[in-house]
Amino acid sequence: MASPSDTGLPAGAPPGGGYDTVVVGGGIGGLVCAAYLAVSGRRVLLAEQHDVTGGNAQVFRRRRAYEFDVGMHYVGDCGPDGLLPAILSGLGIGPDRVPFRPLDPDGFDRILLPGVTVDVPVGWDRYLSRLCAALPAERTGLTRCVGVLRAVAADLRGGMTHPPGAQRVPMSAVLTTWGGRPLGDLYDHCALGPAARTLVAAQSGNYGTPPSTTLTSTHATMLDHYLRGAYAPVGSGQTMIATLVEVIEAYGGQVRTRCPVEEILVGDDRQVAGVRLAGGETVRAPLVVSNADYRRTVLGLCGGRGFSPAVVERTRRATMRAAVATAYIALDRPLDMPNTNIWWWAHTDIEQAYAAARKGSDPTFAFLSFGSLKDPGSRTVCPPGHSNFQVMTLVPPLGGPPGRYRRDPSYERGKARLRDALVDIAEQALGPFRSRITHLETATAHTNHRYIQGGSGTPYGFDDWGGHGRRPSIRTGVRGLYAVGANSSFGAGILGTALSGISAAGRILQRPLLAEVCAGAVLADPARFPHRTEGFDPLRISRGRARRDARGLAGIG
């Protein structure tokens, strides 16, 4: 049991003032944490600098006809025993409010290498069978490699979901041997050739690093996540965001958008004291959860106050994973293909491909995600008979805040070149479609930083924070201050950031929340949630109650 000082709450008296917790930033991690604290009786303020909550899981609309997901392209493990449904169900959120539709279970990801095509199916056994059928000469090495990955993933998942009060099972030999070593070392041990190495790591764009610097545990958990079933939320990822906002507000919390935090207040005693908002308003609270970029949290919002010199220096010197550039494309015709994603690779030297991406060379790999296939019949994704998809690749992270870049001729030229390269890749994967384009725009690392305030324009977080694979804990060392999101030890992505949020809430509440909800605990009463009418718009709800009807919300139709 944690002591009062561990939770950041002063001993002997409840906190005063209007709030006892301020959450900085409305990404998945911040929203999940705020929701669990609210349903547990905490007085919560969530402050988001953007017009809507959601972070990398939000959507945007164009031409009153198309809606594009920014980052929730697909999620895994959403079956009956899935981790993300368990986190949602613990908040009283069931499939009636956030339904998930499965991608093609016989091939939710299509991997395209020169001369090799693999449709990745649900299930580890079928996955290995497909790999071996594609590269029969590599069967022995692939079988050994996949066996290690499967065992590591099973051990890690079991450690997270063990029942409350149950004795933890000691780490297995395979986890202690391989979990903390680079995936490239496992490849060497299994004597895999270049094509096999690229094939196994073809979906590495889900975390953004090459095998040489990726922990085996990172790749194993990503594969296991999707091999348990790949899904997409019905009604876009914004539906899940809006539902979390509904939960927070139903339990007395407040969600403020267009509400930047300029400073996290830390006293000389290394105790957090609240935040100062843009415009000068000070909100006093003994607990602050930062869902802002970790570097910005430590060096910017806190100015290093309360952190050890070692953490400040490690954070200052840290490098970020690659950033993402995306072409958003709409066509005036449907796509005739299964409900799948495409991972396209120009060659089988995966290390060289990542090195080229970080140098800003023309892309040699890309991920294609099809919104109109994942949510067919949606009134917002695209009009009937049209299609909506995205083409993503990795680009160098920003060296710092981008400054004034819009309308800069060199930036516009580089953006146009990247846009054309991504369209070229998409046509190689799908066939010609340029004459049917009805909307085309490109987002870069600068775009990500502008809207999300993401560190260096990347959604993946740290690459090297005092060691590859090393990441900060959700506990910061400053009493009462927690840090959640893509930089945490739980990793990036929808599930990783959600895990950081529920884990921070569990630390604060001194409860094993994840284990409890995986065992079926429900902390919220769905009867308190608002009734949804036919015109329910998740983007509107995601602005928070105070700004729900403010001007400037893009519509459809």
Distance of CA 112 to the CA centre of its chain: 24
At residue 266, the 3 state secondary structure works out as strand
Six token digits for residue 185:
């070392």
Angle made by CA atoms 199, 499, 273, in degrees to the nearest 5 = 135
Count of C-beta atoms within a 10 Å radius of residue 433: 17
Instruction: For residue 138, name the pLDDT band (cuts at 50, 70, 90).
Output: very high
Q: What was the pLDDT predicted at 278?
A: 95
Q: What was the pLDDT predicted at 6?
A: 40
Domain extent listing, the chain: 21-58+77-99+235-319+464-542, 125-227
Contact 446, 411 (CB under 8 A): yes
Does residue 47 register a pLDDT over 90?
yes
User: How far apart are alpha carbons 538 and 232 in whole angstroms?
Assistant: 16
Contact 315, 466 (CB under 8 A): no
User: How far apart are alpha carbons 13 and 22 in whole angstroms?
Assistant: 19
Arithmetic mean of pLDDT over the chain:
93
Q: What was the pLDDT predicted at 169?
A: 64
Query: What's the mean pLDDT in 272-293?
Result: 96
309 phi, psi to nearest 5 deg? -55, -35
Q: What was the pLDDT predicted at 159?
A: 82
464 phi, psi to nearest 5 deg? -135, 105
Q: What was the pLDDT predicted at 450?
A: 84
Instruction: For residue 490, name the pLDDT band (cuts at 50, 70, 90).
Output: very high
pLDDT digits (tens, 9 = 90+) for 413-471: 999 999 999 999 999 999 999 999 999 999 998 888 888 877 688 999 999 999 888 99
Q: What was the pLDDT predicted at 9?
A: 39
Does residue 5 register a pLDDT over 50?
no
**CATH architecture of structural domain 21-58+77-99+235-319+464-542:** 3-Layer(bba) Sandwich (3.50)
- State what percent of residues in the chain have pLDDT above 70: 95
Count of C-beta atoms within a 10 Å radius of residue 225: 24
pLDDT digits (tens, 9 = 90+) for 65-100: 999 999 999 999 999 889 999 999 999 999 999 999
Contact 291, 30 (CB under 8 A): yes
In terms of pLDDT, which residue wins out, 18 or 41?
Answer: 41
Does residue 171 register a pLDDT over 90?
no
Query: What's the mean pLDDT in 16-40?
Result: 93
User: How far apart are alpha carbons 275 and 18 in whole angstroms?
Assistant: 13
pLDDT digits (tens, 9 = 90+) for 348-407: 999 999 999 999 999 999 999 999 999 998 989 999 999 999 999 999 998 766 667 777
Q: How far is CA 473 from CA 196, 267, 506, in A?
A: 34, 21, 14
Cβ neighbours of residue 170 closer than 8 Å, sequence gap 6 or more: none
User: How far apart are alpha carbons 355 and 84 in whole angstroms?
Assistant: 33
Does residue 16 register a pLDDT over 50?
no
Query: Any idea which residue has 């809006």 for tokens?
Result: 242
Maximum Cα–Cα distance across the chain: 70
Query: What's the mean pLDDT in 208-214?
Result: 96
Phi-psi region of 370 (alpha: psi -120 to 50; beta: other; left: phi over 0): beta
Distance of CA 329 to the CA centre of its chain: 22
User: How far apart are alpha carbons 112 and 401 in whole angstroms?
Assistant: 35
Contact 314, 477 (CB under 8 A): no
Spell out where 267-411 has E strands. Answer: 272-277, 282-284, 287-290, 319-320, 323-331, 341-345, 365-370, 387-395
Q: What was the pLDDT predicted at 303?
A: 97
Strand 319-320 to 287-290 pairing: unpaired
Q: What was the pLDDT predicted at 7?
A: 40
Instruction: For residue 2, name the pLDDT band (cuts at 50, 70, 90).
Output: very low
Length of the chain equals: 557
Nearest CA-CA partner of 507 in 534, 481, 486, 487: 481
Cβ neighbours of residue 255 closer than 8 Å, sequence gap 6 or more: 26, 34, 46, 48, 53, 245, 248, 249, 544, 545
Q: What was the pLDDT predicted at 164?
A: 67
pLDDT digits (tens, 9 = 90+) for 222-268: 999 999 999 999 988 999 999 999 999 999 999 999 999 999 999 99
Which helix (H) or strand (E) segment holds residue 442: the answer is strand 437-443
Query: What's the mean pLDDT in 39-53?
Result: 97
Contact 347, 337 (CB under 8 A): no
pLDDT digits (tens, 9 = 90+) for 104-117: 999 999 999 999 99
Contact 522, 93 (CB under 8 A): no
User: How far apart are alpha carbons 128 and 123 in whole angstroms?
Assistant: 9
Instruction: For residue 167, name the pLDDT band (cuts at 50, 70, 90).
Output: low
- Rg of the chain on CA atoms, in Å: 23
DSSP 8-state secondary structure symbol assigned to residue 468: B
Six token digits for residue 407:
């309308």
Count of C-beta atoms within a 10 Å radius of residue 220: 26
